[in-house]
């Protein structure tokens, strides 16, 4: 009998630990961003610049590209890896990151950032 009680307490503790991660998530404002790479990006394996740089500087890079294209008609970007990219939001970034919803929006929605670029630039067609 005494051992039976210990076993039951043991099972309860085990279940609490097992379920803790699920309870812990309840009541959180939004799920953490989980940007997913589209097939083309997965194949390419690399972004225009290293991941950390892209994570923190992509908005600045896009600004620079826009200014250089619009003001100087300078359309080619030499990356730190020596590769050349056509400076374009639609034709370059969104070609690899073809699902805005699964990629860009994952972070932006979480942070409440709404880039106004899509007022003019065309979003990629979502394929699922
Ligand atoms: C040739 C395909 C390709 C192009 C073009 C490309 N990307 Fe990427 N991008 C990737 C890949 C692959 C990764 C993941 C890199 C890694 O894991 O090292 C990535 C990562 C990123 C990240 C970081 C994601 C994270 O989870 O931290 C951001 C932000 C990003 N890209 C934005 C852009 C923007 C903006 C452009 C255009 C200026 C662009 N990408 C152009 C393939 C591409
Ligand atoms: C890893 C998370 C992440 C991913 C993926 C990501 N962004 Fe961002 N984005 C951010 C953060 C963080 C900011 C800056 C928010 C701030 O400074 O207030 C930002 C800001 C921006 C801005 C500037 C918006 C403004 O109003 O200042 C642009 C433009 C932008 N992102 C474009 C893109 C595009 C295009 C993609 C997809 C190709 C993308 N981002 C993917 C995290 C991400
Ligand atoms: C009012 C309309 C408008 C808005 C809003 C806008 N753009 Fe543009 N953008 C343009 C036009 C027009 C061009 C010139 C197109 C060309 O010469 O190819 C351009 C060119 C660009 C280029 C270089 C060429 C290309 O094909 O992409 C980049 C990069 C760019 N914009 C990024 C952005 C980003 C990032 C945002 C949001 C932070 C943004 N734009 C918001 C109208 C706009």
pLDDT tens-digit series, residues 7-26? 777 777 766 666 665 655 55
Q: State residue 128's pLDDT score.
A: 47
pLDDT of 124 over the 60 cut: yes
Indicate the length of the chain as a whole number: 128
Find the ligand nearest to 90 CA: 3
58 lines ligand 3 (CB under 6 A): no
Q: State residue 30's pLDDT score.
A: 64
Going by alpha carbons, the residue nearest to atom 41 of ligand 2 is 104
- Dihedral over Cα of 37, 89, 104, 51: its sign: positive
pLDDT of 49 over the 90 cut: yes
Alpha-carbon distance 16 to 83, whole Å?
Answer: 52
What is the overall mean pLDDT for the chain?
89
């Amino acid at each position: 009998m005494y051992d039976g009680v210990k076993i039951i307490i043991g099972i309860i503790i085990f279940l609490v630990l097992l379920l803790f991660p699920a309870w812990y998530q309840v009541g959180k404002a939004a799920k953490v961003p989980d940007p997913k790479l589209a097939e083309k990006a997965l194949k390419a394996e690399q972004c225009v610049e290293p991941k950390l740089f892209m994570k923190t500087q992509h908005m600045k890079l896009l600004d620079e590209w826009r200014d250089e294209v619009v003001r100087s008609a300078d359309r080619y970007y030499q990356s730190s890896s020596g590769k050349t990219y056509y400076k374009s939001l639609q034709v370059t970034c969104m070609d690899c990151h073809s699902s805005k919803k699964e990629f860009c929006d994952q972070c932006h929605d979480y942070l409440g950032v709404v880039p106004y670029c899509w007022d003019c630039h065309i979003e990629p067609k979502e394929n699922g």
